Homo-oligomer: A and B are copies of this chain.
Amino acid sequence: MTSHDTTTPPTTAPRSTTPLTATTWPIAAATLAFGGPARDGGEVHDAPAAEWGRVLRAVARAGFDHVDLTDAWLRPGDLAPSRRPELLDVAAEHGVALASISAIRRSVIHASDGEENLAYSHRTIDAAAGLGIGTVSVGLHQALTPAQQRELWFWTVTGHEDDPAHWDLAVERLRELGRHAADVGVVLSLEMYEDTFLGTAASSVRLVEEIGLPEVGLNPDIGNLVRLHRPIEDWREAFELTLPWTNFWHVKNYSRDEDVARDAYTAVPALMETGLINYRWAVQRAVELGFQGVICTEHYGGDGLSVSASNRDYLRRVLPEEGDVELGVSRVLQPRLTTPTHDRAGVAS
């Protein structure tokens, strides 16, 4: 077994030179649907690797060769470094590459837990480097409120809202994380989410510009915004603004209806193909604007993994093929990508 030394981060040099195509694009399954305690009731990161294998087996059976480690399932930042080879082995055993890490609801400007979340985010970046993962996504959304937890869909009532007074702290702490990420060859992506500093396209761009590091970009999870039961930003304009800064991408879709005269709004989780957002258009614009990062297929409600798999198949049909569009120049650095492999040769060695 290869030794994984986190103090020797993977080099950032050999980033992709050939533009990604519909065939080669890394499309990862989110694992947020697998949240909850381990079978023995303990923490998943303390569970035997075989327990991780059960989830990775389902991911592989659904046809994925890349996975996003969503920390609602497994927290790499809390995994003992000595167990990283176990995780890489069980992933390789199922033919699934570890594409990215998504840390959820760990705002670094949380009133009481901000510093702890900052420390956790640092550990997560180290874990990414140690696992050969090139992308870490964080956000500013906070724990669901009790009122949100009582709803069928938490986004139908308003939750936490960022206080403008904390803007500078957000810039400072996210920049600190970005510098760490840069040091270890990882890019940091900021997930868009309503009512935070990343809640609109304009605010998101302003934040990432103010942070001012090539290793810090956006995760334009516009699906988070189009499901709200209130007037929303135009999704197409939101992509136009944010795609130039995109280095990672949570994708999902909703069927949305509005009846403004009746003050009625409805949105239900939908296949990417059938929902409001035209992802055929969006992926083409993304390439034109330089995006070459991991796409992570998410879905809330129902059978998230199966919908994610259908969404992956859809993306393979509509992502540009070679020569379809000209790859643009991104405003931010694009990540190193993990190659799916059944052995670990070359990964984080």
Q: Which residues of B contact A269 (CB under 8 A)?
A: 255, 274
Interface residues, chain A, with chain B CB atoms under 8 Å away: 33, 57, 61-62, 151-153, 156-157, 229, 253, 255-281, 301-307, 310, 314, 317-318, 321, 324
Q: Which residues of B contact A324 (CB under 8 A)?
A: 57
- Bound form: Cα–Cα A181–B314 in Å: 40
Apart from the given pairs A157-B261, A229-B262, A276-B301, 20 other A-B contacts in the complex at a CB distance below 8 Å: A61-B317, A62-B317, A151-B258, A152-B256, A152-B257, A152-B276, A153-B258, A156-B258, A259-B264, A259-B265, A271-B274, A272-B303, A273-B307, A275-B302, A276-B302, A278-B302, A280-B306, A281-B303, A306-B317, A306-B318
| Chain B residue nearest to A157 in the complex (CB) | B261
A264 touches B266 (CB 8 A): yes
A341 CB to nearest chain B CB (Å): 24
Copies of chain A in the complex? 3
B260 touches A274 (CB 8 A): no
State which of B274, B275, B301, B306 has its C-beta within 8 Å of the C-beta of A314.
B306
B267 touches A264 (CB 8 A): no
A303 touches B276 (CB 8 A): no
- Bound form: Cα–Cα A17–B33 in Å: 32
B262 touches A274 (CB 8 A): no
- Bound form: Cα–Cα A276–B307 in Å: 12
- Bound form: Cα–Cα A270–B262 in Å: 23
